[in-house]
Amino acid sequence: MLGLMQDRPLALPHVFHRAEQLFGHRRLITAETSGERVTTVADWAVRVRRLATVLDSLGLSADARVGTFCWNTDRHLELYLAAPCTGRVLHTLNIRLFPEQLVYIVNHAEDEVVFVDRSLLPLLWPLVDKFETVRHIVVIDDGADHEIPSDPRVRDYEELLAAAEPFAGRFTVEEENSAAAMCYTSGTTGNPKGVVYSHRSAVLHSLITLTSDAFALSERDVVLPIVPMFHANAWGIPYGALLAGAELVFPGPNMTPEAIVGQLERHRVTVTGGVPTIWMGVRPLLADHDLSSLRAIICGGSAVPRSLSEAYREAIGIPMLHAWGMTETSPIASVSSRRSHQEAWSEDERADARARQGQPVPFVDLRIADPESGEELPWDDRATGELQAAGPWIAKEYYRGEGGGTQFTQDGWLRTGDVASVDKWGFVRLVDRTKDLVKSGGEWISSVDLENEIMAHPAVAEAAVIAIPHEKWTERPLACVVVKPGQSLTAEELIEFLTPRVAKWWLPDAVEFIDEVPKTSVGKFSKKTLRDKFAGYTLPS
Ligand code: AMP
């Protein structure tokens, strides 16, 4: 017997129409090179409707990949809806990729058009002749003074919009499993791989961001996504905020700690999100700003140091809301929200729990498995294994079947490449990326745990641990440490600090003081760059 409920597609047009109909008065604020632009959801919606007409008038195919090369802005949000609501596929391009990777991705996805912020034109334009399928470059003038090339492929965003009639009526996407958006993994080895989100996965994922054990987004929120809109769709925050009716504040091109903290304070932001590096940068400014409006700082993308989260709790009263996910998981898979059993815990114990990657959100299944045998391991907080994920917004394969079967198990789970343990409450603790673990004498040292302990030293700004080959032990840890400005620290002092905090055999064999930990295109520590930098390094015997 079948249920007798209406079979309506779970598709992004609903997000658009709901925002337009219910939340037209809510504001969208974007920082530009010269000041801030304030608009309303109602005005934005008219522009989305015009943009829908523009996409048709450009002669794009029905499921064209629509590339964006943009900052976090309200204009980018126009593309976020206009592309999928007209059946096209939003393809956000990472503005920090190496040129060859960018060319590869644009050609691989077969983008037909790329929308680019004028301030980013100098990065994109030199590559345009290598784009095989791109017919139009549409420049969004963000006030930068870079010259706009006179070339028949180049179009002006505002001119196109002004000439277009707003699409009338309701957008429809009948097939909820059709593609809505795609993102390429920032893969450190091999070519990036395409992850293709469906309307259904995007809608369900947005809904999850509204649940109270995730981000609890609501109409009463003012949300500032610092995580780039090209990084796993800014963790689903833009769609979630529109669905909820929250106001959105966009940082635009100015991502300095001063600019971020200024926007947080000025617009009484309640929810924000970014990788730990961002929050490390903002931390010294906390004391000088009124951030009392904040209720959640979503942090993930790499492990959130306990000391960082605690520094925020002490300075402004709220710790980080630690979340874990991947481009392949849309990305929200687990969130370290508070559970009732923690009520009786000390603040210290709660801080430990917050440093974990958290419990799976509804509809995401997680398990840990022995990487060799595939055997499922117990949730006893001791056994560590490869973290695997399944759920309606978890990838089942890569675009064009790339990556082979290696990243998916026989029974269809995603192999994340992360090593974790899980406690009896279902709270994940990520030990490391498989490839970042330090294999010492047949045992594993978690570079993440060791970094956490090093970053707990008051003089340390940031630290990364990498494995150095070792004749006797296979590998030994090297600590690469950045000291806070105006502070001093010697290797001996650091080792002395670490000695009571970690097992003796975990103590780094050497400490190198560096100016900055190199970062990936999405602001994570780039262990690969560090490994290259210290290739051939000789550890003291
Ligand atoms: P990306 O697809 O670029 O977002 O990278 C996903 C990877 O980032 C995951 O597989 C993890 O290795 C890492 N990651 C994401 N969130 C966290 C977190 N909260 N703690 C530790 N690592 C994380």
Q: Catalytic: 505?
A: no
Question: What does the domain layout of the chain look like in residue ranges?
Answer: 8-22+38-203, 435-533
- Mean pLDDT of the region 442-469: 92
CA of 275 to the centre of ligand 1 (A): 10
Q: What is the CATH number of domain 435-533?
A: 3.30.300.30
Using most ligand atoms within 8 A of CB, pick from 302, 384, 393, 449 the residue to mutate for ligand 1: 302
Distance, in Å, from the CA atom of 80 to the CA atom of 71, rounded to the nearest integer, reads 12
Angstrom distance (rounded) from CA 224 to CA 269: 7
How many percent of the chain have pLDDT more than 70? 99
pLDDT tens per residue, range 489-502: 999 999 999 999 99
Residue-level pLDDT at 187? 59
Q: Give 34's pLDDT tier (boundaries 50, 70, 90).
A: confident
Q: State whether the beta carbon of 49 lies less than 6 angstroms from ligand 1.
A: no
Q: What is 8-22+38-203's CATH superfamily?
A: ANL, N-terminal domain (3.40.50.12780)
Q: Which of 193-207, 272-286, 295-309, 398-412 has the lowest mean pLDDT?
A: 398-412
Secondary structure string (H, E, C) spanning 463-525: EEEEEEEECCCEEEEEEEEEECCCCCCCHHHHHHHHCCCCCHHHCCCEEEECCCCCECCCCCE
Distance 458 CA to ligand 1 centre (A): 25
**Residue the block writes with tokens 């005005």:** 43
d(CA 416, CA 100): 26
Q: State the average pLDDT for the chain.
A: 95
- Report the pLDDT value the prediction gives residue 11, as an integer from 0 to 100: 98
Question: What pLDDT is attached to residue 74?
Answer: 98
> Is 125 noted as a catalytic residue in this protein?
no
What's the 371 CA to ligand 1 centre distance in angstroms?
Answer: 18
Ligand 1 geometric centre to CA of 251 (Å):
23
Look at residue 38 and tell me whether its pLDDT is greater than 90: yes
Task: Say whether 185 is catalytic.
Answer: yes
- For range 506-517, the mean pLDDT: 94
- Ligand 1 near 430 CB (within 6 A): yes
- Give this prediction's pTM: 0.92
Indicate which atom in ligand 1 lies nearest the CA of residue 322: 19
Contacts of 77 (CB under 8 A, 6+ apart): 28, 44, 229, 238, 242, 248, 250
- With a 6 Å cutoff on the Cβ, whether 303 touches ligand 1 is yes
Rounded distance from Cα 368 to ligand 1 centre (Å)? 16
* 454 touches 463 (CB < 8 A): yes
pLDDT digits (tens, 9 = 90+) for 164-193: 999 999 999 999 999 999 999 865 556 789
Ligand 1 pocket test target in 227, 297, 326 with most atoms within 8 Å of CB:
326
Q: What is the pLDDT of residues 86-109, one digit of tens each?
A: 999 999 999 988 899 999 999 999
In this model, does residue 520 exceed pLDDT 90?
A: no
Burial 221-251 (b: 16+ CB within 10 A, else e): bbbbbbbbbbbbbbbbbbbbbbbbbbbbbbb
Cβ of 455 below 6 Å from ligand 1: no
How many helices and strands in the chain, by DSSP H and E?
A: 16, 25
Ligand 1: centre distance to CA 326 (Å): 5
In 102-184, DSSP assigns E strands to: 111-117, 136-140, 154-156, 179-184
pLDDT tens column, 213-229: 999 999 999 999 999 99
Measured between alpha carbons, how far is 76 from 117 in angstroms, rounded to an integer? 9
Q: In the predicted model, is pLDDT for residue 335 greater than 70?
A: yes
What is the per-residue pLDDT across 267-299, written as a single tens digit (0 to 9) for each? Answer: 999 999 999 999 999 999 999 999 999 999 999
How far is residue 344's CA from residue 118's CA, in Å, rounded to a whole number? Answer: 54
Does any ligand 1 atom lie closer than 6 A to the CB of residue 235?
no
Predicted confidence at residue 402, as pLDDT, reads 80
For 76, 104, 116, the CA distances from 34, given in Å and listed in that order, are 18, 34, 18
Of 16-30, 183-197, 503-517, give the lowest mean pLDDT range: 183-197
- For residue 503, what pLDDT is reported? 87
Mean pLDDT within 193-205: 97
Q: Comparing 113-117, 179-183, 467-471, which segment has the lowest mean pLDDT? A: 467-471
List pLDDT tens digits, range 414-431.
999 999 999 999 999 999
- Is pLDDT above 90 for 405? no
pLDDT, tens only, 230-260: 999 999 999 999 999 999 999 999 999 999 9
Give the residue, 144 or 406, on which the prediction is more confident.
144
Residue 128 has pLDDT above 80, yes or no: yes
Predicted confidence (pLDDT) at residue 404 exceeds the cutoff of 70? no
3-state secondary structure at position 271:
strand
Average pLDDT over residues 368-390: 94
Question: Which pLDDT band holds residue 471 (cuts at 50, 70, 90)?
Answer: confident
* Residue pLDDT, tens place only, 47-87: 999 999 999 999 999 999 999 999 999 999 999 999 999 99
User: Residue 510: pLDDT above 90?
Assistant: yes
Q: Is the CB of 326 under 6 A from ligand 1?
A: yes
- Choosing from 444, 474, 529, 533, the catalytic residue is 444
Q: Please say if the pLDDT value at position 540 is more than 90.
A: no
Nearest CA to ligand 1 atom 8: 301
The residues near 38 (Cβ < 8 Å, ≥ 6 apart) are 27, 28, 29
Say whether 402 is catalytic. Answer: no
Q: Is 322 in the pocket of ligand 1 (CB under 6 A)?
A: yes
Indicate the pairing of strand 27-32 with strand 247-250.
Answer: parallel
Which residues are bridge partners to 90 per DSSP? 66, 181
CA-to-CA separations, 62 to 154, 277, 439, in angstroms, rounded: 21, 39, 50
Residue 155 has pLDDT above 60, yes or no: yes
